[in-house]
Amino acid sequence: MVRTLERRLHLDVPAADVQDWPRMQVLLGPRQVGKTTVVRQLLERHRNLVSHYASADDLISAGRSWLLEQWQVALAKGRGALLILDEVQKVPNWPEMVKALWDARPGALRVVLLGSSALGLQRGLTESLAGRYELLRMLQWTYTEWSEAFGDSLEHYLVCGGYPGAHSYQGDWPRWQGYIRDSIIEPVIGQDLLTLGRVRKPALFRQSFEILSAYPAQEISYTKLLGQMQESGNVELVKNYMDLYSAAFLLHALPKYSSKPWQLRSSSPKLLPGCPALVAAVMGERSVENDDMRGRMFELAVGLEMIQRIDRISYWREGNHEVDYVVDLHGDLYAVEVKSGRRRTSKGLDAFLRAHPTARPVIIGPEGFATFAANPEAFLRAVAGPA
């Protein structure tokens, strides 16, 4: 992530040799995954870089004048200075002010925006800053990142992986679970989604997250989800809740694969919580001890690796036949079956290949997972069977 940010900011090129920086960089992702740490690492790697870092979190009340002040401080340091604004979503009407400051002198500064509220940032970007920024998504940690940082096994990652700040608490389950619930889940729901999402039934909304997290890597109908809620609602309410959790990067809902795009919205989703830690924190320490749930968690890990690197991912089911993931890589179709230890047959894969003769089959098991996780796209292209 640091290298990507360096490249986009042209930090390997002298400021005098760059005509302008046409877009701001927005570092977007869930809470507690290290976005601010990435920025600090960037500054540490480029100590001679002319920069100004400011966080709206340092103030009791940060207003438009605060944004103006930070922008002017950076401008005074010269053309091409790097301005980093952290927790920018806490400034009232920040998108309009940033837009005005940027448009007044476009390209005069290299600008990075980030904050803890993914939903707050996204709404501001879409409302006022269209065409003026590039997104850098930084999601929960993948297995490759986790193992490189901590040396943990895959089995350990499938229970506790995703949020680096919780790693030091893993020997103390109540403390670990409390951290995930109180420092990650609750701030997202209470401070971000309930404040910005206009949710009319907060208790039902909170309960829905508990229910959604209990079905990792599983297809589930909206009607079944609705039936587990303790208050009345409708399918559109469930879809709205899922959209909000997706916007906050707590959940990914994969559509059913279809060659007819208009059918995707009405299909039952396959639920992928943002990381294994969310499932364990909600369901409890012993939730992944049975073979079926361990298999689901491995299937979840496979899906999360692809979501971070590949855009077009879905699943497929017809009757009793299913394929875990269907991946479209620039027009090449891959049918991905996860060999997770659960009792499965290959009939689903065979049925999909008969229906889609150009698709190429891929089977991923624990023994090949590390290689797959290092570069999912390269792995699919290298090992896929013939169409």
Residues 257 and 277 in one domain: yes
Among 109, 137, 165, identify where a domain stops.
Answer: 137
Residues 209 and 352 in one domain: yes
pLDDT tens sequence across 181-209: 999 999 999 888 887 767 888 888 999 99
Read off φ and ψ for residue 42, nearest 5 degrees.
-60, -45
Position 195 scores a pLDDT of: 79
Amino acid at 210: E
pLDDT tens sequence across 12-42: 766 666 666 678 999 999 999 999 999 999 9
pLDDT at 62 over 70: no
What is the distance, to the nearest Å, from the Cα of residue 294 to the centroid of all Cα atoms in its chain? 22
- Highest mean pLDDT out of 117-126, 227-236, 240-249: 240-249
Residues 80 and 130 in one domain: yes
Position 169 scores a pLDDT of: 92
Residues 118 and 152 in one domain: no
Surface-to-core class of residue 135, CB atoms within 10 Å of its CB (0-12 exposed, 13-18 middle, 19+ buried):
middle
Helices (H) and strands (E) in the chain, counts: 18, 12
Element (H, E) at 158: helix 154-160
Position 262 scores a pLDDT of: 55
Residues 90 and 236 in one domain: no
Rounded to whole angstroms, what are the CA distances from 237 to 25, 55, 121?
A: 34, 36, 23
Closest by alpha carbon to 154, among 21, 259, 297? 297
Element (H, E) at 333: strand 332-338
Position 10 scores a pLDDT of: 84
Residues 89 and 148 in one domain: no
Residues 120 and 153 in one domain: no
pLDDT at 76 over 70: yes
Provide, for the chain, the percentages of residues in helix, strand and coil under a 3-state DSSP scheme, each rounded to the nearest 5. Answer: 50, 15, 35
Amino acid at 187: P
| Alpha-carbon span 321 to 312, nearest angstrom | 21
Which band of pLDDT confidence, cut at 50, 70 and 90, is reported for residue 341?
low
Q: Which two tokens stand for residue 221?
A: 């109908």
Higher pLDDT, 63 or 362: 362
Cα of first residue to Cα of last residue in the chain, in angstroms, is: 35
Among 104, 137, 170, identify where a domain stops.
Answer: 137
Among 105, 137, 169, identify where a domain stops.
Answer: 137
pLDDT at 298 over 60: yes
Residues 45 and 176 in one domain: no
User: Are the CB atoms for 293 and 268 separated by under 8 Å?
Assistant: no
Position 277 scores a pLDDT of: 95
Mean pLDDT of the chain: 88
Q: Which two tokens stand for residue 380?
A: 């699919």
| Alpha-carbon span 340 to 172, nearest angstrom | 28
CA contacts within 13 A on the Cβ side of 120: 26
Residues 85 and 206 in one domain: no
Residues 253 and 376 in one domain: yes
Surface-to-core class of residue 19, CB atoms within 10 Å of its CB (0-12 exposed, 13-18 middle, 19+ buried):
exposed
What is the count of structural domains for the chain? 2
| Alpha-carbon span 142 to 139, nearest angstrom | 8
Residues 85 and 150 in one domain: no
Rounded to an integer, the average pLDDT of 237-255 is 91
Amino acid at 224: K
Rounded to an integer, the average pLDDT of 318-341 is 90
The residue whose two tokens read 């040396």 is: 151
Structural domain harbouring 17: 2-137
Higher pLDDT, 265 or 97: 97
Rounded to an integer, the average pLDDT of 94-118 is 90
What CATH number does the domain containing 76 carry?
A: 3.40.50.300
Position 343 scores a pLDDT of: 58
Residues 220 and 91 in one domain: no
Percent of the chain with pLDDT over 90: 58
